[in-house]
């Protein structure tokens, strides 16, 4: 279960933040998160609470992981065929 979606932090007010999800604003509580949050951070939001900080670099890293799996697998396959 558990629908959680990424949103960009527009502003922070103590243990609350407003995040932007595709032009839609949602207030989010931060007291379920260990890390500090600042404007511009990305948060994973579940039922109006932040459950994780995300970084745009990690988005890029995710793609690299996909590609890595695809590549190593291809190589393995080629080795097997040889």
Partner 1 sequence: MKFKFKDRDRADKLVQLINRQVPDRRIKIVHVCGTHEVSITENGLRSLLPDRIDIREGPGCPVCVTPTSDLDAALQLAERGAIVAAFGDMMNVPGTAKSLSELKSEGADVRLVYSVSEAVKIAAGTDKQVVFLSVGFETTTPMTAAVLEDHPPENFSILPSNKLIPPAMESLLELPDNDIDGFIAPGHVSTIIGVQPYEKLADKYDIPIVVGGFEPLDILYSLGLILNQLSISDPKAENGYTRAVDHEGNSKSKKLIKDVFKETDTTWRGIGTIPNSGLTLNRDYEKWNARERFEVEPRQAEETSPNCLCPQVITARATPEECKLFKDKCTPESPHGPCMVGEEAMCNIWYRYGGRPKL
Partner 2 sequence: MNNSESEEETVQLTHGAGGRAMGELIENHVLKTFTNKTAGEIGLDQLDDGATIDLPAEGTLVLTTDSHVVNPLFFPGGDIGKLAVCGTVNDLAVMGADPVALTSSLVMEEGFPISKLNRVLTSMEESSTESGVPIVTGDTKVLEKGDMDGIAINTAGIGLAKEPINDAGMNPGDKIILTGKIGDHGMAIMQYREGLSFRTELKSDIAPLNELLKRARKSGNITAMKDPTRGGVAAALNEMAEKSDLGLTIQEELVPIKEAVSGIAELIGISPYEVANEGKAIITAAKESAREVVEGLKSHPLGRDARIIGEVNQEWTGKVIMETEIGGRRFLEAPLGDPVPRIC
Binding site for partner 2 (CB under 8 A): 1-3, 5, 21-27, 45-48
State yes or no: residue 65 binds partner 1 (CB under 8 A).
yes
Query: What region does 80 belong to: left with phi over 0, alpha with psi -120 to 50, or beta?
Result: alpha
The whole-angstrom separation of Cα 53 and Cα 61 is 15
CA-based angle 74:77:80, to the nearest 5? 150
Between residues 32 and 75, which has the closer beta carbon with respect to partner 2? 32
The interface with partner 1 within residues 5-64 (CB under 8 A) comprises 6, 22, 29, 31-34, 42, 44, 46-49, 51-52, 54-56, 58-59, 61-63
């Amino acid at each position: 279960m558990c629908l959680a979606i990424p949103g960009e932090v527009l502003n922070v007010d103590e243990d609350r933040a407003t995040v932007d999800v595709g032009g839609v604003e949602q207030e989010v509580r931060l007291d379920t998160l260990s890390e500090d949050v600042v404007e511009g951070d990305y948060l994973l939001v579940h039922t109006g609470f932040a459950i994780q900080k995300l970084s745009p670099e990690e988005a890029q890293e995710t793609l690299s992981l996909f590609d890595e799996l695809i590549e190593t697998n291809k190589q393995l396959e080629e080795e097997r065929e040889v």
